[in-house]
């Protein structure tokens, strides 16, 4: 889930997994953004991932996140998103975080709404996913929303 569509491999083979991790490591080095793991507190086992990607607008980043299916439904994504967006807006000092969600992804919408994001609009055929296109809801959270 990001402004250009997801880069998470639909079928996670070892080769696709390694390529995905390398892409994430390159975000910071290339100045494109930041990628972080979501880990279980007790084991530090990575169960998901968060990304912040710089957009064309100064002070704005695009948020992406996902969890492996076995980690879903336990509030891990909601907690990770809340922690990351507070840090991004309050400590780093950015002005706006955007997130794009396919209309059928109700769980992702709940994650964003629990973190204080507001739905701003509907973008037809906005996301490039694989060889296809998908509509998206756009959500945002502003630094001023934290007050």
Whether 80 is in a domain gets the answer yes
CATH number at 45 reads 3.40.630.30
Q: What is the pLDDT of residues 103-135, one digit of tens each?
A: 999 999 999 999 999 999 999 999 998 889 999
Whether 5 is in a domain gets the answer no
Per-residue pLDDT band for 7 (boundaries 50, 70, 90) equals low
Task: Give the pair of three-digit tokens for residue 76.
Answer: 């891990």
Whether 42 is in a domain gets the answer yes
Whether 57 is in a domain gets the answer yes
Whether 7 is in a domain gets the answer no
How long, in residues, is the chain?
A: 147
- For 84, the domain range is 14-146
Q: How far is CA 37 from CA 21, 48, 62, 84, 131, in A?
A: 10, 6, 16, 11, 27
Looking at the 3D structure of the chain, how many domains does it have? 1
Whether 2 is in a domain gets the answer no
Quote the pTM value. 0.84
Q: What is the pLDDT of residues 69-105, one digit of tens each?
A: 888 888 899 999 999 999 999 999 999 999 999 999 9
Q: How far is CA 101 from CA 18, 46, 147, in A?
A: 25, 23, 25
**Residue 97 contacts residue 50 (beta carbons within 8 Å):** no
Round to whole Å and give the CA distance between 136 and 2.
10
Q: What is the pLDDT of residues 11-62, one digit of tens each?
A: 666 677 667 767 777 777 787 899 888 888 888 788 888 999 999 999 999 9
């Amino acid at each position: 889930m990001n402004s250009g569509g997801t880069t998470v491999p639909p079928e996670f083979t070892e080769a696709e997994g390694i390529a995905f991790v390398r892409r994430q490591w390159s975000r910071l080095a290339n100045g494109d953004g930041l990628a972080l793991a979501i880990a279980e507190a007790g084991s530090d086992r990575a169960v998901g991932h968060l990304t912040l990607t710089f957009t064309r607008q100064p002070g704005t980043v695009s948020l992406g996140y996902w969890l492996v299916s076995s980690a879903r439904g336990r509030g891990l994504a909601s907690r990770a998103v809340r922690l990351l967006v507070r840090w991004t807006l309050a400590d780093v000092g950015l002005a706006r975080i955007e997130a794009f969600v396919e209309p059928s992804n109700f769980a992702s919408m709940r994650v964003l709404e629990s973190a204080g994001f507001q739905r701003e609009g509907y973008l037809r055929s906005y996301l490039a996913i694989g060889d296809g296109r998908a509509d998206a809801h756009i959500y945002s959270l502003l630094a001023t929303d934290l007050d």
